Structure 1
Amino acid sequence: MSLTLAPAPRTLAETLALPSWLLVPAASLVIAACAQVAIPLPFTPVPLTGQTFAVLLTGMALGSRRGALAVALYVLEGALGLPFFAGGAAGLAKLVGPTGGYLCAFPLAAFVAGLLAERGWDRKPLTTVLGMLASSLTIFLFGALWLAHFVGGITPAVVQGVLPFLPGDVLKSLLAAGLLPGAWQLTRNQTR
């Protein structure tokens, strides 16, 4: 007689008995809801939103492939006209406007966050913070490079599209550091 053990889950989504066809669109809707928490800032065309938090949390919770797919679906839904982007905005014009670099970087950032989560970075608070910040850098890099075309160069793009958002990203990372390791602890307690 042989005993076969199931592999340990690599992501929080793997601890759930839900199929990808349900998790991916549900996550895109959560991102859309979080994007509606948008605060326009007078000194930049980039609003402060909850969507980046949801994008990175989606990547970490669903893993690299499903997280990136969910976020790509969110971007596609918004591009096709659903009012899912920050403040209910929609359409292809958002992808080619000042915030287009951020939006287009979201799936890649979710992939990076998911890849880190699959390697256990979402199990402990410190590595969760580091993983969220590393994934945020992906968004900032592509967002600032794109924004530079609209604001007269890379320096104004960093001043308007990166620096004002760093404190918020640190706070979002700290929030994730409380949520994700806690969720893992709950799943461990339920399987005992």
Structure 2
Amino acid sequence: MDNTFNQPQSKQLLSTKRMVICALFAALLCVSAYLSIPTPLPMAPKITLMNFVIFLIALLFPVTESFLIGLVWFLLGVVGLPVFIGGGSGIGYLIAPYGAYTWAFPIVLIVLPLIRGKKYNRIWYTICGIIGVLIIDVIGMLYLQHSMSYDLKTAFLTGFVPFILLDLVKAIVVAQIIPAFRKIMEV
């Protein structure tokens, strides 16, 4: 007698509920490319919410889910859907002088879940958020320096200084609201 129907099913990588939550966050990440708040600052005329959502995903989800959410978003942008900051898309966007800020996002979506730990600690999560900001802004600045043939001072003043303060604020705020999101999502 064949027992193949009585054997337990192999464990799924993600439950249906978790896949739906990941899909919702991938959609939120896509929409966040269009969400920005104007500022009176000439060096940073808009605050984009994409970094905010990146930090939220990286500090909320385990590395596998964080990576999958980022992968879906990134592949959608690479194939031409306008899901990068300001509705950008494609390889051309990613190799443009400011493109490295975008391809630093998947790095953050892998690194932060790996270093933050499973148990929430406000101070450590805040430090992790700051590490994420530095990863994005330093990679972006260094690529900008290379692609524009800037000296380090010019790259720092045009590719780091205008972004660092607002990015830090976003990361710090996200680190503080993670417990509320975990409670809602039962993560």
Scaled by the length of structure 2, the TM-score of the pair is 0.77
The answer on 1:101 being equivalent to 2:68 is: no
Q: Hey, what's the Cα distance between the residues in 2 that align with 1:92 and 1:107?
A: 15
Closer, same or farther: CA 111–47 of 1 in aligned 2, 3 Å: farther
Matching residue within 177, 180, 183 for 2:181: 183
Q: Hey, what's the Cα distance between the residues in 2 that align with 1:74 and 1:162?
A: 24
Instruction: Report the equivalent of 1:136.
Output: 133
Matching residue within 29, 32, 44 for 1:34: 32
Counterparts of 1:35-74 in structure 2, within 5 Å, are 35-38=33-36, 43=43, 48-74=47-73
Closer, same or farther: CA 94–182 of 1 in aligned 2, 3 Å: same
- Give SS of 2:17's match: coil
Shift of residue 151, structure 1, vs aligned partner = 5.6
Q: Hey, what's the Cα distance between the residues in 2 that align with 1:150 and 1:113?
A: 29
Q: Hey, what's the Cα distance between the residues in 2 that align with 1:111 and 1:95?
A: 19
Amino acid at match of 1:167: L
The answer on 1:170 being equivalent to 2:168 is: yes
Runs of 5+ consecutive residues of structure 1 not aligned to the other structure: 1-13
Instruction: Report the equivalent of 2:5.
Output: none
Q: Hey, what's the Cα distance between the residues in 2 that align with 1:150 and 1:48?
A: 24
Q: Deviations over 1:96-146 (max 9, x none)?
A: 1022211111111111121134343xx232222111111121112221111
Runs of 5+ consecutive residues of structure 2 not aligned to the other structure: 1-13
Q: Hey, what's the Cα distance between the residues in 2 that align with 1:93 and 1:29?
A: 22
Closer, same or farther: CA 130–59 of 1 in aligned 2, 3 Å: same
Q: Hey, what's the Cα distance between the residues in 1 that align with 2:63 and 2:151?
A: 32
Percent identity reads: 22
Scaled by the length of structure 1, the TM-score of the pair is 0.75
Shift of residue 88, structure 1, vs aligned partner = 1.6
Q: Pairwise CA RMSD of aligned residues?
A: 2.9
Shift of residue 170, structure 1, vs aligned partner = 2.2
Shift of residue 47, structure 1, vs aligned partner = 6.3
Closer, same or farther: CA 72–125 of 1 in aligned 2, 3 Å: same
Contact 2:54 2:109 in 1 (8 A): yes
Q: Flag the structure with larger Rg.
A: 2
Q: Hey, what's the Cα distance between the residues in 2 that align with 1:169 and 1:118?
A: 22
Aligned pairs, number: 171
The answer on 1:146 being equivalent to 2:146 is: no
Q: Hey, what's the Cα distance between the residues in 2 that align with 1:75 and 1:126?
A: 30
Contact 1:60 1:116 in 2 (8 A): no
Q: Hey, what's the Cα distance between the residues in 2 that align with 1:164 and 1:43?
A: 5
Deviates more, 1:145-154 or 1:70-79: 145-154
Instruction: Report the equivalent of 2:74.
Output: 75
Shift of residue 169, structure 1, vs aligned partner = 1.9
